[in-house]
Structure 1
């Protein structure tokens, strides 16, 4: 960016600030708040949830990554390099979210119940070098012991015990991340368990899941370094008729066991929205975690766009003073487009939505609602949709030394030509 462009950017920013300041909005303060918000960026967009296990298995558990765009990461070194590129295009300092299948075992087969912190030492070294935090997930799918979508609720005790050991090992890895990086790790547990057709017994699987979870979380882990979350789902491929880990199950379980509920925006009925759930969840939970995705008709994990629901989620987080209560992570995987672009689009949109929410006169709108002035409330909410957010956003990107506007696309194209196209 040359001197003239910088001057124009700054000038547009100062003009835009005046529009917001007339409503008592401190734009500079909003940008200071924004820079401290960490988004947990999911590693699995970079390789279509393949992972790097020595006995690499086919993706299963009701999960599907569609497309075959060239250049996906084939090993952890390439994945970290791709993440480096994406992070250079995303303003702020964030976290990276790992699954257990991204362990590095020097080509040796190490089954998931035997994973240890040492298998993620390279990830920790990389995170330290880049000032990043790490989050974690046990991988309870794509495995021979996850056949028929039954794991922690399986009637087979040997299978349940295997996944119990894996989940405990994962919590210890999360604790290791927190200790090493000085940033609390969120370790999130999700399972695909359910039945394709109408079950004869709904209670039994949920009782077995409850018992399994109680055994997993009975192992003491320092909450200073690791927070435990559990994630519900309404249904999945192969679990269309019954999901063991339903929303009702996990809401009750977390409140009884003092865990963190995780809400995935794709894990509910198409007519439900997570934005409406946040105010209820934060009233009864110290922390609430999010996996922000974009469902299209079902939990299809499309790249996050700057749509109405994303903006509503951000508004709920900001206007309810929940920035310190809600842990924001992303979860999508599109194999039909450039994967670095997918990371960049979704992450920048999440941050942009938070910026938009910080630049709304939330207190004044709340007063209008309490006074019953619904006319002015609606009118003002509509007017703010066309306020000059883009000028504030571009200034924030420049301030954080990342490309302004669509300039980042050139960087991705260059990286594709020089790096991705050379992968076979």
Structure 2
């Protein structure tokens, strides 16, 4: 290890220790945190089952940066490269359209065998897998409705797809020894004001009841439901609103997904975590960065991400929160996007672990808000970076921006040779 990195860490370690913070213990704790890295950043949400289908459901990826993955093998190679630059052992989040099979299979007929190569790859690399039914970019979702569709036949197609997806997720968990979270998100909604808001939600509730009817072993598989405020094409009304899914998840014992981009622009999910944690069996967190709307920009170490980290760490919520990423940007190197977003998410947790939370709590309980504010501000300039550099070095991944040179080399040697 670079002696300067070690020397800086030892100095930081002593400084944090003066406030009762054991940096060695913090890094051991951080090693156990798994981030579920989303596969769809690597190919702009195209997938492999219906690759020629236009993106629908309010999903839009802009940019034409060269090197998007065109095959499962290319996507796995890109993921491997990204993971080699990120400290810790993590998970990969798959959508149903990322099946690796020569068989022509419809979404309602998918089986674990269509994802066997992903399982074998995950075993080889010590990774977990999460899963999502793909209720968009399909001819049967072209009018913007899936599980709440008024046509019983189309609605049944999507019910069967979600049921099949749960079985795939359960297989992942059983094979890999890591619980798979299968998350249901649908784009259903109206562009303009509907005449009947209740009927679609009643259909969605009944459809979900059928989807989740089969009990699955929670050691292998957990269900999650995800809301949205609005989307392109569903600006006026979304069937699966936050209130709908919060009620459903609490009543049915499902994980409730909070996506950083799925709320009003003035809302933040960091403020929801502690409240929801008191009632929900668990939380699925989708870390994203909305800009103007749910635009899923690459995650930066901004104020909201830091607040999310604080809530998870200081509220002791890491044990019941499953953290995943959800962004897609085709205007920059896609591997770099993964690395930036994942490293930033881990950094936010580390920053929170290096704060004197007990001293802050005691000051707050005593009404000493001066001390609370002073400590909060002074710790912003504490040598967090030295601890992060040491964590990267001891994890065998590049320190600071050194990873960028590796990504640039990978782009030159691999990505630019893929063509269009």
Alignment TM class, shorter chain as reference: over 0.9
Equivalent in 361, 377, 386 of residue 372 of structure 2: 377
Equivalent in 54, 60, 67 of residue 58 of structure 1: 54
Match of 1:392 in 2: 387
Match of 2:229 in 1: 234
Q: Could you give the per-residue CA deviations for residues 247-286 of structure 1, whole angstroms, max 9, x where no partner exists?
A: 0000110111111101000000010000000000110012
Runs of at least 5 residues in structure 2 that lack an aligned partner in the other structure: none
Match of 2:111 in 1: 116
Contact 1:55 1:109 survives alignment (8 Å):
no
Q: CA deviation at 1:220?
A: 2.1
Contact 2:149 2:200 survives alignment (8 Å):
yes
Q: Could you give the per-residue CA deviations for residues 218-243 of structure 1, whole angstroms, max 9, x where no partner exists?
A: 12221111000000000000000000
Match of 1:88 in 2: 84
CA distance in structure 1 between the partners assigned to 2:299 and 2:309 by the alignment: 13
Q: CA deviation at 1:18?
A: 1.6
Match of 1:77 in 2: 73
Q: Could you give the per-residue CA deviations for residues 207-227 of structure 1, whole angstroms, max 9, x where no partner exists?
A: 000000001011222111100
Q: What does 1:293-372 correspond to in 2, within 5 Å? A: 293-372=288-367
CA distance in structure 2 between the partners assigned to 1:363 and 1:59 by the alignment: 48
Equivalent in 247, 254, 260 of residue 252 of structure 1: 247
SS at match of 1:262: strand
CA distance in structure 2 between the partners assigned to 1:284 and 1:363 by the alignment: 24
Contact 1:124 1:180 survives alignment (8 Å):
yes
Q: What does 1:3-82 correspond to in 2, within 5 Å? A: 6-53=2-49, 56-82=52-78
CA distance in structure 2 between the partners assigned to 1:19 and 1:194 by the alignment: 53
Q: CA deviation at 1:56?
A: 3.1
> TM (normalized to structure 2)?
0.99
Contact 2:50 2:97 survives alignment (8 Å):
no
> TM (normalized to structure 1)?
0.98
Q: CA deviation at 1:54?
A: 5.1
CA distance in structure 1 between the partners assigned to 2:194 and 2:370 by the alignment: 50
CA distance in structure 2 between the partners assigned to 1:55 and 1:188 by the alignment: 21
CA distance in structure 2 between the partners assigned to 1:421 and 1:55 by the alignment: 21
Q: Could you give the per-residue CA deviations for residues 4-60 of structure 1, whole angstroms, max 9, x where no partner exists?
A: xx1111000000112211110010000000011000000000000000015631111
CA distance in structure 2 between the partners assigned to 1:238 and 1:268 by the alignment: 16
Q: Could you give the per-residue CA deviations for residues 67-111 of structure 1, whole angstroms, max 9, x where no partner exists?
A: 0000000010000000000000000000000000000121x3210
CA distance in structure 1 between the partners assigned to 2:227 and 2:50 by the alignment: 29
SS at match of 2:37: strand
Contact 1:54 1:109 survives alignment (8 Å):
no
SS at match of 1:183: coil
CA distance in structure 1 between the partners assigned to 2:288 and 2:310 by the alignment: 17
SS at match of 2:217: coil
CA distance in structure 1 between the partners assigned to 2:36 and 2:254 by the alignment: 19
Runs of at least 5 residues in structure 1 that lack an aligned partner in the other structure: none
SS at match of 1:301: strand
SS at match of 2:41: helix
Matched, 1:411 2:406: yes
SS at match of 1:149: coil
Structure 1 residues 34 and 202, CA, compared in 2 at 3 Å: closer, same or farther? same
CA distance in structure 1 between the partners assigned to 2:116 and 2:408 by the alignment: 31
Contact 1:149 1:193 survives alignment (8 Å):
yes
Contact 1:296 1:302 survives alignment (8 Å):
yes
CA distance in structure 1 between the partners assigned to 2:47 and 2:311 by the alignment: 34
Equivalent in 238, 241, 245 of residue 243 of structure 1: 238
